[in-house]
Structure 1
Amino acid sequence: MLDDFMIRATLAGVGVALAAAPLGCFVVWRRMAYFGDATAHAAILGVALSLALSMSVFAGAMVVALLMALTVNLLTGRGYAMDTLLGVLAHSALAFGLVAVSFLSGIRIDLMAYLFGDILAVSRSDLMVIWGGAAVVVALICWRWSSLLTATLNEDLAYACRINPKREQLVLTLALAVTVAVAIKVVGVLLIAALLIIPAAAARPLSRTPEGMALVAAGIGSISAFVGLRAAYYLDTPAGPSIVCVAAVIFAVLSAIGGVRALRVS
């Protein structure tokens, strides 16, 4: 069954969507969109280092993404605004990564595949990594769901409930690093943040509970992957950007419907 490259691509897209959905909800609730983008940009440096050291791209990207996220956590509150700090680290890491790639002599590398994804080239081993990473992220979020939600709502409430907000932030950081690493093959480092944010944002008008929003976001992400891949196949367009375009259209349609309903009520 997995000999069909479209089936492998669809399974990869759905796997990433399932990992990104609950995490994307927390990114939206905590207004961490730029944080996710910065972590994703840093992954290209991990790709360069992994190729230079002949190690797994997944491992290299995850290590650098995790180091990037931990660095942001450590430097927060040291005199720089969060958006400034993220901007400096994100673009610096991306630039250093691109420069490092240029020094890789004797290694053929399709930079566009890492920047925008190459989901149609997903192999069986890639599928195992993607679904394994997705399982780790989903299990981690489910395990810490209540604590993460409490820390997201109010830090003082979290302390009152004997929950350490910094520890929960570390859990999100770890989950984000894993998600970035598994999503590189699907949508590339430049579009990972979009796959995190857009389905979660589109799910908000349809949800009444946090759990419902995570489930709806997973559904929207999976539909975006399926429809986007089919559109890319028939229209001969890039697969990763096509998936994000479908998610953006869904968001626009749901937002328009929500706006019309709000006008009727008023």
Structure 2
Amino acid sequence: MSLLDDFLVRAALAGIGLALAAAPLGCFVVWRRMAYFGDATAHASILGVALALSFDVSILGGALVTAMVMATTVSSLSGRGYAMDTMLGVLAHSSLALGLVAVSFLQDVRIDLMSYLFGDILAVSRYDLMVIWMGAAATLALLVWRWSALLTSTLNPDLAHAAGLNPRREQLVLTLALALVVAVAIKVVGVLLIAAMLIVPAATARAFSNTPERMAMFAAAVGIFAVLSGLHVSFVGDTPTGPTIVSVAAGCFMVASLVKTVFDRRHLRSSKDT
């Protein structure tokens, strides 16, 4: 009997792969204040699922193509006279609504819509596991390759221009990586929760990190802890696995925020005393 025959092992490995890819990417989402952008990309993937089922092609391919179209569209329209929050709201909710309507027309296809909305990590197959880890490896390779350029463009676009970098090109690289993570994450936490896995671990790590690299690594650790703890709580308590994982991550964020607040107050008092 192979270790991968255990569905819990496959679920844990899938969650770890997602956490490793989403954590450093989530740091850029937090730094660039792109939280709503992640939601828009994730919502668009539901339309991709519906189109893939309609044309009998790979669901992963359909979700990936649609997410990339959304990402490149938003990236191209940003800074050209459109209010970003309004544009993201229109595109996100329109694509989600169109996807749900399109799914309703699929007469000969049985589809568990809840598994795409909230994920079904316990049903991850060996093929799904391979796809998730290939997507995670591609995302990490892309971020490692462009880390310095992405970081410079994020923190100081003027400095990036002076260094010969193109901030808009780096933003496009980031959006394509985000689309890839969203596509492979559908099976794990679903389109409605992937934004939380991008943002919450990174926001938690931000409270205790003094360098970008440390924040990315700490975010990955938080994400992995949330996945493993969420799986355990879900298994013991018979709760929905995807939402439970996100709930654990949210709990980590609240604890981190409380600890940082207490630490900051003590540091302020000690500074006043001296």
TM-score bracket for this pair, using the shorter chain length: over 0.9
In structure 2, the partner of 1:148 is: 150
Per-residue Cα deviation, 1:118-170 (whole angstroms, up to 9, x for no partner) = 00000000000000000000000000000000000111110000000011011
Deviation at 1:208, TM superposition (A): 1.4
Stretches of structure 1 that go unaligned for 5 or more consecutive residues are none
Counterpart selection for 1:85 from 80, 87, 104: 87
- What is the aligned partner in structure 1 of residue 261 from structure 2? 259
TM-score by length of 1: 0.99
Q: Pick from 26, 43, 58: which aligns with 1:41?
A: 43
**1:33 is matched by which residue type in structure 2?**
A
Residue 217 of structure 1 is matched in structure 2 by 219
User: Which amino acid is 1:89 matched to?
Assistant: L
Q: 1:19 aligns with which of 1, 18, 21?
A: 21
1:144 aligns to what SS in structure 2? Answer: helix
TM superposition shift of 1:80: 2.3
User: Comparing 71-80 with 6-15, which one deviates more in the overlay?
Assistant: 71-80
Give how far 1:206 is off: 1.6
- Alignment map for 1:238-257 (pairs within 5 Å): 238-257=240-259
The 3-state SS of whatever aligns with 1:106 is: coil
SS of the aligned residue for 1:108 comes to coil
What SS class does the counterpart of residue 31 from structure 1 fall into?
A: coil
Q: 181, 184, 194: which one pairs with 2:196?
A: 194
Of the three residues 116, 119, 124, the one matched with 1:117 is 119
For the residue of structure 2 that corresponds to 1:2, the secondary structure is helix
Q: Distance in 1 between matches of 2:87 and 2:26?
A: 21
Aligned residue-pair number:
266
Deviation readout 1:50-72 (Å, 9 max, x if unpaired) = 11111111111010000001111
1:52-67 correspondence to structure 2 within 5 Å: 52-67=54-69
Letter in 2 for 1:96: L
- Displacement after TM superposition at 1:239 (Å): 0.4
Code of the residue aligned with 2:10 in structure 1: it is R
> Which residue in the other structure is 1:204 paired with?
206
Distance, in Å, in 1 between the alignment partners of 2:6 and 2:55 is 32
TM normalised by structure 2 equals 0.96
Give the letter for the 2:256 counterpart. L
Whichever residue aligns with residue 27 of structure 1, its letter is: V
> Any gaps of 5 or more consecutive residues in structure 2?
269-274
Aligned partner of residue 206 in structure 1, secondary structure: coil
How far, CA to CA, are the matches of 2:85 and 2:172 in structure 1? 19
CA shift, 1:105, in A, is 1.1
In terms of Rg, which structure is larger? 2
* Structure-2 separation of matches of 1:234 and 1:50: 35
Name the structure 1 match of 2:70: 68
Read off the aligned partner of 2:133 and give its amino acid letter. W
